[in-house]
C-alpha cells in the first residue's frame, strides 16, 4: 500500500516553461519563458502579430538565459528580434520587463507601460521618468533594506537564496541591458492599436501601483498580466505606496469583472481561461476570507503584532517577511475601515479591535 503523499498539487503558475507556440486567437500567440521564482515556473510572453511585424508582451527576466529563450520562441513563431516593433510591459516586476531594454536599444522597439511605471530594480536610473512630465510617480526604491512600517527596528530582507538570485539579476541588468525606460506611457482608457485590433488600456493597481491590463472589446480578449491569475492570487504588499493597497486591488478587480463580453483572459502565468469575472470574484472572496480571519484573530488576541496575525493567515512554511507584508496590507485595510486600531510600542505596531 502506497504511503500517503503530503505534497501540495502543483499550481498552473508553477509549471515549467514549454517551448510550444500556441495560437490563442487570430494574430495572438502564446509562448512561455522559463523563470524560477517562488511559486512560478514560467512567464507567458504573448506575440501580437500585424503588418509591421510583432509586438511582445512581458519579455521575461533580465539576463542571457531568458534572452536566449525569448529569441528561441520568436524563431519558433517565425520572427527575428528585428521584427519586434513594440514591447508591452504589464508592470514593474523583473520577470515582466527583462528583455524590454535590449529590444529598445538594439532593435529600436517601442516600450509601452502605464503612465506610473517605475522600476525599483535600479533606483539610479532616472530615464524611466519623462523629463517633460509633471505626473507624480512613486520613487522607485527597492523595498529590500527599508525599514518595515510595522517594525521599524528591522529591515525588509528576503531569504538569502532569494537575495542572491536577485543580486545576480541586478548584475545581469547592468551587464546585459538597461532598465526598461518606456518610450510611451499610456493612461487609463487610452487606446493602443496592435495585432490589427484596438486595445483599451486599463490601469489596475494593487499588485503594483503601475499594473496595466489591455482589453480588446471587439473580440472579448484581456491581457491580464499578474492582476488575475488562474490558480493563485498575486501578492498584495504592504510596502507599496498608498495607505490602502488592498482597497485599490478590490477596485481593480471590479473594473475587470465589469468588462462586457470577455471570452478569453490571457494571464502572465498559468493557462488562459474564459471566466474572468468569476475568477476576479473568487480572488476578491479569498481576500474577504482573509479579512474575516484577521477580524476573528483580533477578537481572540485582543492585541497582536503583524507577525502574530501573519501566523493566523499563513501556514508555517510561508512565515516570514513576505507573509507579514501581505498581512500588514490587510490590517491597514481594516484600520482604514475603522475596524481595528494600531499603536506603536518600541517601534513595533500592535493592532486591536475597535469597540
Q: State which H helix or E strand residue 321 sits in.
A: helix 321-336
350 φ, ψ (degrees, to nearest 5): -120, 140
* Rounded (5°) CA angle 252-254-256: 75
Q: What is the pLDDT of residue 5?
A: 43
Domains along the chain?
Answer: 12-129+144-282 (3.60.15.10), 297-353 (1.10.10.10)
For residues 278 and 180, give the distance between their C-alpha atoms in angstroms, rounded to a whole number. Answer: 33
Q: What is the pLDDT of residue 128?
A: 35
Residues of the chain short of pLDDT 50, as ranges, are 1-6, 122-142, 144, 160, 163-165, 169, 177
149 by Cβ neighbours in 10 Å (0-12 / 13-18 / 19+) ranks as middle
Q: What is the pLDDT of residue 139?
A: 39
To the question of pTM greater than 0.85 for the whole model, the response is yes
Q: What is the pLDDT of residue 4?
A: 43
For residues 23 and 77, give the distance between their C-alpha atoms in angstroms, rounded to a whole number. Answer: 10
151 φ, ψ (degrees, to nearest 5): -160, 85
What are the contacts of 22-30 at 24+ separation with CB within 8 A? 24/221, 24/264, 24/266, 24/272, 25/219, 25/221, 25/264, 27/195, 27/196, 27/197, 28/195, 28/221, 28/266, 29/77, 30/266, 30/272
Q: What is the pLDDT of residue 119?
A: 81
Q: State which H helix or E strand residue 309 sits in.
A: helix 306-313
E strand intervals along the chain: 22-25, 28-37, 40-50, 53-57, 84-88, 110-114, 147-148, 151-155, 184-186, 191-194, 197-203, 212-216, 221-225, 264-267, 304-305, 340-345, 348-353
Closest CA to 24 of 52, 67, 53, 57: 57
For residues 70 and 34, give the distance between their C-alpha atoms in angstroms, rounded to a whole number. Answer: 9
Amino acid at each position: 500500500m502506497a504511503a500517503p503523499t503530503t505534497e501540495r498539487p502543483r499550481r498552473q503558475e508553477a509549471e515549467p516553461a514549454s517551448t510550444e507556440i500556441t495560437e490563442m486567437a487570430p494574430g495572438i500567440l502564446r509562448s512561455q519563458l522559463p523563470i524560477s521564482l517562488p511559486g512560478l515556473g514560467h512567464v507567458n510572453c504573448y506575440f501580437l502579430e500585424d503588418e509591421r511585424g510583432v509586438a511582445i508582451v512581458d519579455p521575461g527576466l533580465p539576463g542571457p538565459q531568458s534572452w536566449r529563450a525569448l529569441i528561441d520562441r520568436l524563431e519558433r513563431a517565425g520572427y527575428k528580434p528585428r521584427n519586434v516593433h513594440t514591447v508591452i510591459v504589464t508592470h514593474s516586476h523583473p520577470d515582466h520587463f527583462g528583455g524590454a531594454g535590449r529590444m529598445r536599444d538594439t532593435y529600436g522597439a517601442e516600450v509601452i507601460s502605464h503612465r506610473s511605471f517605475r522600476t525599483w530594480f535600479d533606483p539610479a536610473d532616472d530615464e524611466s521618468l519623462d523629463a517633460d512630465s509633471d505626473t507624480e510617480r512613486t520613487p522607485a526604491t527597492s523595498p529590500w533594506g527599508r525599514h518595515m512600517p510595522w517594525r521599524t527596528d528591522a529591515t525588509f530582507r528576503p531569504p538569502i537564496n532569494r537575495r542572491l538570485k536577485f543580486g545576480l539579476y541586478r548584475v545581469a541588468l547592468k551587464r546585459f541591458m538597461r532598465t526598461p525606460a518606456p518610450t510611451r506611457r499610456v493612461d487609463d482608457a487610452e487606446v493602443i492599436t496592435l495585432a490589427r485590433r484596438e486595445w483599451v488600456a486599463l490601469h489596475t493597481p494593487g499588485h503594483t501601483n503601475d499594473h496595466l491590463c489591455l482589453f480588446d472589446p471587439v473580440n472579448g480578449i484581456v491581457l491580464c498580466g499578474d492582476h488575475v491569475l488562474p490558480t493563485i492570487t498575486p501578492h498584495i504588499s504592504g510596502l507599496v505606496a498608498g495607505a490602502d493597497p488592498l482597497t485599490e486591488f478590490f477596485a481593480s478587480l471590479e473594473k475587470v469583472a465589469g468588462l462586457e463580453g470577455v471570452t478569453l483572459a490571457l494571464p502572465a502565468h498559468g493557462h488562459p481561461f474564459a471566466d474572468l469575472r468569476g475568477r476576479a470574484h473568487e480572488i476578491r472572496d479569498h481576500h474577504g476570507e482573509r479579512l474575516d480571519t484577521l477580524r476573528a484573530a483580533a477578537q481572540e488576541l485582543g492585541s497582536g503584532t503583524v507577525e502574530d496575525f501573519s501566523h493566523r493567515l499563513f501556514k508555517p512554511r510561508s512565515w516570514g517577511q513576505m507573509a507579514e507584508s501581505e498581512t500588514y496590507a490587510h490590517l491597514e485595510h481594516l484600520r482604514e475601515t475603522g475596524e481595528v486600531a494600531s499603536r506603536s510600542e518600541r517601534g513595533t505596531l500592535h493592532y486591536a479591535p475597535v469597540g
